[in-house]
Chains A and B, each alone.
Chain A
Amino acid sequence: MVENQNKETTENPDRRRFLNQVWAFFGLVAAAEFGWLGLSFMNSRKERNRPAKTESIVTAGSVERFTPGTVTAVPVGQFYLACLGDGSFLALSRTCTHLGCSVPWDEEKNKFVCPCHGSTFSLTGEVLTAPAPRPLDTYPVRIENGIVKVDTSVTQKRERFEPAQATRI
């Protein structure tokens, strides 16, 4: 009898700890299941709402319409067409690379100025003032029969401006 009691007192803590661990394990499994359930629920909406990846060509106009060194907004395609000094073209996204505000072109200052956090970008989309971390994104430009066409389905990110990014006639 005495022996038996001793045995229980020595065994009990181990058993209790083991059972607690089992319960904790089941608790974690339950949490993981619910987490996974919730996440897959949310993730499915992500897939459903992804815009179709079709090529969407926007016609900006004929080459003669654009004078070198100017920026023209193309509202249909939500981008700016910059005509650089040498007459080559660059299609700039109007979304600020900092936090996604829409950047207007300031004709007088000759630069893009973000109204949210004060970043400024040059005609070629390069960062003039922080906090924006990289130049404005671009879209591929094609010139067919003197007509400027921009493919807005492909966004090209870049670290700096290089003349090769612009499209020449």
Chain B
Amino acid sequence: MAAVLVGLLFLTGILQLFVYQSSVHQAYASVLTLTREVPFGLWVRNIHHWSANLLVVAAVLHLLRVALTGAFGQGRRLNWVVGLFLLFLLLSANFTGYLLPWDQLAYWAVTICTSMLGYIPICGPWLLELFRGGSEVGGPTLANFFVLHVAFIPGSLFVLMLWHFWLVRRAGGLVQVKKDEQVPVDRVPTVPDLVVREAAFGLLLIAFVLILAIVWDAPLLEQANPGMSPNPAKAPWYFLGFQELLLHLHPVFATLVWPLMGALAFLCVPFWADSSLPTGVWFGSARGRTLAVWTSAVGAGATLALVLTDNLLLQSAAPVSNTLMTRGLLPTGLLIALLAGLYFLLVRKLKYTRAETVMAGIILTLVVLTVCTIIGVWFRGPEMHLSWP
């Protein structure tokens, strides 16, 4: 599925390259030309947009499936890491992609993102200037992200994808429930049985994307205006969970510490002994399923409560002085204490296995991000205040 989408992206991307011009003065106009004058230009751009969005959904669902069916244990550890890098590349591809039209979204997204780099200790300002190609956002910045989007990221994506698929084959295909060795397994030839099914599914998916692209247009805001940020200035949906974090935490923690902690935790999970569920069984067991449901419900409720409480605090509080402490170290400490406490409770008191607890942790992370994303998409109005959609 993801491979089909990537294929679509490559093809429509190449077509768009014929029209697009990567300079600050011409980028926006060339995208307008593409959508208005080039035959099927609007459609091609829409296909590119929807494939990219669906790809994020597909990749996250795939991650969830892998985590919930215990497919990152022995023999598949490296592939989990490769998969995470693929997800990262995918998100960077999307990010660099929506910068290229140089509309309001593009300009402010690149301003915000490169400013985030500035918060990295020691080498931050240096990195910021490297990515901007100068001290301010302008032509060199666009050139940087253009190169990243059309050369660096697709190249790496291609190599990693091949590696990813090869590692799956080497590990013996998709995970299955361990069966009795004695029972003979019915096998069918790959050609035509598997190929026909995959082709049929691929075609259905392509049809779905094409229809989506006919019905809904990819967004294009007004031309970039360095003097005025749009109100509210929102990132595309897949980054809104992250943006929600920025509203509540000190920038160093929201842009650096927390994402780094999350990434490290996800990278290290398979290397923790016995952290993977029994292969091929969803949630590991019936008990694991109950735990998963409870984790999702409690996680969603707690996130909502936290966001609402902190919103009240932000609105009412007098000017805060030491935000590095109150919005940085304190929540981080609390989070680590909470996770350690939950782990202790689940493993020692309720006698869940380590694998089930790890699964609960992964579910919790994704639920928190999902709730934040939902809040960001539908419940943030002008000036990023909470409001009804």
**Chain A positions near chain B (C-beta within 8 angstroms):** 39, 42-43, 45-46, 48-51, 75, 78, 94, 98-104, 113-118, 126-131, 133
Contacts and interface: CB of A to CB of B under 8 A. Distances in A.
A104 B136 contact: no
Secondary structure dominating the interface of B: helix
Contacts of B53: none
B138 interface: yes
Contact of A115 (B116, B140, B246, B384): B384
Interface stretch (B172-180, B247-255, B279-287): B247-255
Contact of B314 (A42, A43, A94, A129): A129
Interface of B: 108, 111-112, 114-116, 129-130, 133-136, 138-140, 226-233, 243, 246-251, 254, 314-315, 317, 319-320, 323-324, 327, 382-385
A74 B63 CA distance: 50
Contact of A78 (B129, B227, B246): B227
Contact of A98 (B114, B138, B230, B251): B251
A118 B134 contact: no
Contact of A49 (B116, B133, B385): B133
Contacts of B385: 118
A113 B231 CA distance: 10
A115 B327 contact: no
Contacts of A50: 134-135
Contacts of B250: 130-131, 133
9 contacts: A48-B134, A98-B115, A99-B246, A100-B114, A102-B229, A129-B315, A130-B314, A130-B323, A133-B251
Nearest to B137: A100
A117 B229 contact: no
A100 B115 contact: yes
Contacts of B111: 99-101
Contacts of A75: 227
Contact of A99 (B226, B251, B317, B327): B251
Nearest to B317: A129
Most buried by B among A46, A99, A104: A99
Contact of B133 (A39, A45, A118): A45
A39 B126 CA distance: 11
Given A45-B133, A131-B248, 19 more contacts: A46-B130, A49-B134, A51-B136, A94-B227, A98-B246, A98-B251, A99-B112, A102-B226, A103-B229, A115-B229, A115-B230, A115-B232, A115-B233, A116-B384, A117-B247, A118-B247, A130-B314, A131-B251, A133-B251
Contacts of A116: 108, 112, 229, 232-233, 384
A104 B231 contact: yes
Secondary structure dominating the interface of A: loop
B258 to A, nearest CB: 13
Contacts, number: 105
Most buried by A among B112, B228, B229, B315: B229
Contacts of B133: 42, 45-46, 49
A114 B139 CA distance: 25
A131 B115 contact: no
Closest 3 CB pairs of A and B: A49-B134, A115-B231, A100-B115
Contacts of A113: 383
B323 A131 contact: yes
Contacts of B226: 102
Contacts of A127: 319-320
Contacts of B254: 131
B327 A43 contact: no
A49 B129 CA distance: 10
A95 B233 CA distance: 14
Contacts of A129: 314-315, 317, 320
A130 B317 CA distance: 10
Contacts of B319: 126-128
Nearest to A109: B383
Contacts of B136: 51
Contact of A100 (B112, B228, B231): B112
B384 A99 contact: no
Contact of B130 (A42, A101, A104, A131): A42
A130 B320 contact: yes
Given A115-B384, A118-B314, A131-B247, A101 B140 contact: no
A76 B54 CA distance: 43
Contacts of B243: 117
A131 B249 contact: yes
Nearest to A78: B227
Contacts of B228: 102, 104
Most buried by B among A51, A100, A114, A129: A100
Nearest to B319: A128
A149 B112 CA distance: 30
